[in-house]
Chain A
Amino acid sequence: MGNILEINNVSKTYGKTAALEAINVSFEEGKIYGLLGRNGAGKTTLLNLITNKFEATTGEILLGKESVWENPNAQSKICYMTEKNMFPKEFTVLQLLKSSFDFYENFDLEYALNLAEQFKLNIGKKFKTLSKGFESITKIIIALSTDCPLVLMDEPVLGLDAAVRDKFYRIFLDNFARKPRTFIISTHLIEEVSGIIEEAVIIDSGRLLLKKPVEEMLQMGYCVAGKSNNVDKYAEGRKVVHSEMVGNFKTITIYEPVSQRDNQTAASLDLEIVPVQLQKLFVHLTGD
C-alpha cells in the first residue's frame, strides 16, 4: 500500500529552541502507528504541523501528493483529536456531535450516538462540565465517527480508568476493522498499545530515533542475565542499552539485529535470555 503521509526534512524552531530537527518519516495507508516519545520530545509539535496549527520552519508535509500547509482540501482528510479542548465552551455533547456531523464530510451520527451509549456518556451535559475521562470519551467518539483517511489521536485515553481504556481498545479495533485507515496514536501508556499498534515511531529530543514494526523491535531487544563476568563476556561488541547489577548478578538489555543474537554462547556461559517489553525498551532507548 502507498504512503498517505510523508514528512520530508521537517524542522520546527521556536525562537532559538529547536522543537523538531530534520524529521523524515512516512506513514502507510491502513496502518495503526504509535507515536512515542518522552515529555517534550516533539510529538504534539509534529501533530500540530501536520494539522496546519503551525508552519514548519523548513521541509514539507505531504498528504497524498499535496502539501498540508494552508490546504483545506488536505486538512479535510485529517481528523485530529487533540489533548487540548478546541470546542465551544457552552456546547452540550449532543451539540458537539451534531456540529461534527455538519463539519466532517462523512460523519456517522448514528454510530456516534451508539458509542455514547456504550460509554455511558450523558449527551445532554455541557462539554465544559464533563470530567477529564468523559472529555476524552467525547473526543474519541468524534474521531471514530469520521471516516477521514488519517486520524491523529493525542493521548486518547487520558483520564480513563483501566476498564474504560480496555473498552476503548476493543471499540477502536472493531472500528479499524470496519473502516481501515491510518491512525497515529500518541500515548505514554506504551505497554497497553504495544499489541495494538503495528509500527512504533519514536521521537527523542526533536529527532526521529526509529520507526519499526513493533514485532521487529521486540525481537531485536532482549535481556541477558547471569553471573556478572559471564554477562560481560557475552556483551562484548554488542549494543547494550541498559545494565543493572544486584550483587554479582547482572542483567543487561541488548538491542541488535536478530541475526546477531547468539543463544548457544549465552547457554554455554550459563546465561538466561528473556524477552523485553516495549515500554522498557522504549525507556532504555530514549536514554534512562
Chain B
Amino acid sequence: MDKQLYLSSSPHIHSGETTDKVMRLVIYALLPATLLAIYFFGLPALSTLLICTLGCIGFEALSCKLLKQPPTIADGSAALTGILLAFNLPPSIPWWIALLGAATAILIGKQIYGGLGYNPFNPALVARVVLLISFPVQMTRWTAPAPLASGIDAITAATPLGEMKTVVSLTGKLPELANSGFMDYFTGNMGGSLGEVSALALLLGGLFLIYKKVISWHIPVSFLGTVLVIGGIFWLVDPGRYPSPVFHLLTGGLLLGAFFMATDMVTSPVTYKGMLIFGFGCGLLTILIRLFGGYPEGVSFAILLMNAVTPLIDRTCRPKIYGQVAQQA
C-alpha cells in the first residue's frame, strides 16, 4: 500500500447527479421546440438562436475572465439561458438586439449577483423584459410562419393574443381567431416568439423533464391549472368577451413559461408546497395581465414578480419536521 488513502466523513458514495447533467437534460428537452422553430421561422430563427446562445456563453466567459473567477461555461447554464432567451424573442429580431439581450441576461441577470445559483430573477426573462420595454417596436414585430421549404420571405403577422387584445379593446367582442385554428396553435403554426409557438413540442419537452425527474410536476400543474380554472370562470361568465381556457393554454408563452421558465430551480421555491403557491401566483398574474393589463401577454411579468416573492414563500413553507410532536407524559 504505497498510495495514500482518502479520509473523509460519510457518505462515501454519490448518486452521480451533476449540475451540468441537469442543464443538459433541459437543453435536450428544448430540442423539439428548437427544431420546430427553425422549421416554421427558417434562417432568422436559426441565427437568433445562435446569436443568443453563443452570446450568453461568450459574455459569461468574459465576465469570469474579467473578475478572475474560474470559468463556468462548462456547466451548461449559460447555453441554456441563451436558448431560453432566443425562445422569448421574435424570430427575426435584429441581431444587435439579440446580442444586447444576451449581455443583459448574463451580466445583469446573473453574473452581477455572483453567478449561477445566486440570481433572484430568471436571467432570460430579465433580458426579455428589458428588451420589451426598451425596443417595443422591434420586440412586437412578429413574423408569420414561413416554413423553410416554402421560399416565401417573412411577412409580418400579429400573435393571436395581440390580435385578441386589440379587437377586444376596440369592439368589446372576441375576434374569430379566439374560437378557431386550435390545431395550428397546437402544432405551432402561428405568429409569436421563436420558441413559444408549438404547444406540442413544449409539452413533449416538459413531460420528458418530469419523467426524468429534472423538474417536479408541482409548478407546471399549478401554473397551468390556475390559468385554466380562472380563465375558464371568465369564459363561462361571458364567452363573447373572454376566450376559452384552451385558447389561453395554447397561445402565447404559457407552456414555455410553465414548463421551462417558472421551473428554473434557482429562482423558484425549493419545497413542493412552495412550488404550488408559486405556480398559482404565476397563473393568477398571467390571466389578470392577459385579460385586463396593458400588454397582451403576461407570462414573463408574472414569473418575474413571483421570482421576487420566492424567498418569502420559502420562508413560510418550511416542511414539517419529523418529531415535532408532543412528548409522551
Do A and B bind?
Answer: no
